């Protein structure tokens, strides 16, 4: 005979631990990101040497204990911050590159435009990058993080320049040309960060476009209004 007793509903109770675990995980990720964002702010305002865990905690609106729980030391926090910035930058230019399709001129245009997008090209992030660049020479971990990003990006530029050379029959050496383009973009970032001249993200990108047009005139043409666009 079947029992008429109502069995207890354990669905909500059984799922609660998983929900709480996900909530704790989300909270941990949110806290880590708050601390990384506060570190970027502190690097931009104070520089590398003057940034302390107390500054970061105050900037994030969190306790010093929370900082120590997530990162244990200033060095681990800084490495995590640099890794976040490197991954953010890589994801940004890769998305722009993929969206550009297969045409090398549009790919190169997209990469240059991506470098001056507000998502990665803000005064605070540029200042933070410069702070890390200044320390990279004496810190192998920083060199590895920055070097990996630079090498991948450089390889993509070399491939683009090679295809543009072949299409346009340009008298260039692709590897040297790619290095020059990369150096130009980094130099424009430095000008933007220093703010010593009337340089904006828009005028910096316009300067980059001028170099593309001078190097690959068959692929980047000046329109009637004066602006340069992929041909």
Please give the average pLDDT of every successive group of 10 residues along the chain, which has 231 residues: 42 47 62 95 93 93 89 91 93 96 98 96 92 80 70 93 98 97 93 82 95 97 90 88
- Residue 76 pLDDT: 92
- Residue 24 pLDDT: 45
What predicted TM-score, i.e. pTM, was given to this entire model? 0.81
To which CATH superfamily is domain 82-230 assigned?
Tetracycline Repressor, domain 2 (1.10.357.10)
HEC string of 104-152 equals: HHHHHHHHHHHHCCCCCCCHHHHHHHHHHHHHHCCCHHHHHHHHHHHHH
- Angle of helix 74-99 relative to helix 104-115, nearest 10 degrees? 140
- Residue 147 pLDDT: 65
- Calculate the dihedral angle through the C-alpha atoms of 157, 145, 96, 179, rounding to the nearest 10 degrees: -20
- Residue 144 pLDDT: 76
- Residue 196 pLDDT: 67
Parse the chain into domains and list their residue ranges. 9-72, 82-230
- Residue 138 pLDDT: 72
Domain 9-72 falls in which CATH fold? Arc Repressor Mutant, subunit A (1.10.10)
- Residue 112 pLDDT: 97
**CA dist., res. 117 & res. 111, Å (int):** 10
- Residue 109 pLDDT: 98
Residues 198-224 pLDDT 10s: 789 999 999 999 999 999 999 999 988
Backbone φ, ψ for residue 50 (5° rounding): -85, -10
Residues 105-144 pLDDT 10s: 999 999 999 999 999 999 899 999 988 888 877 787 777 7
Residue 57, token pair as written in the block? 């905690």
- Residue 10 pLDDT: 44
- Is the fold of 9-72 the same as that of 82-230? no
């Amino acid at each position: 005979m079947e029992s008429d007793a109502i069995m207890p509903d354990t669905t909500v109770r059984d799922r609660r631990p998983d929900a709480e675990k996900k909530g704790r995980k989300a909270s941990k990720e949110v806290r880590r990101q708050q601390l990384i964002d506060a570190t970027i702010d502190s690097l931009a305002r104070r520089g590398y040497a003057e940034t302390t865990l107390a500054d970061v905690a105050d900037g994030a609106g969190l306790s010093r204990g929370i900082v120590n729980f997530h990162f244990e030391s200033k060095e681990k926090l800084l490495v995590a911050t640099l890794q976040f910035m490197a991954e953010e930058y890589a994801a940004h230019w890769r998305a722009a590159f993929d969206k550009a399709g297969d045409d090398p001129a549009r790919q190169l245009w997209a990469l240059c435009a991506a470098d001056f997008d507000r998502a990665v090209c803000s005064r605070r992030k540029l200042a933070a990058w410069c702070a890390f660049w200044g320390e990279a020479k004496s810190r192998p971990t920083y060199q590895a993080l920055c070097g990996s990003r630079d090498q991948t990006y450089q390889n993509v530029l070399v491939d683009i320049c090679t295809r543009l050379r072949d299409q346009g029959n340009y008298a260039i050496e692709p590897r040297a040309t790619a290095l020059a383009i990369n150096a130009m973009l980094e130099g424009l970032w430095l000008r933007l960060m220093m703010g010593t001249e009337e340089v904006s993200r828009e005028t910096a990108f316009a300067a980059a476009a001028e170099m593309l047009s001078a190097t690959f005139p068959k692929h980047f043409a000046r329109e009637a209004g004066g602006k340069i666009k992929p041909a």
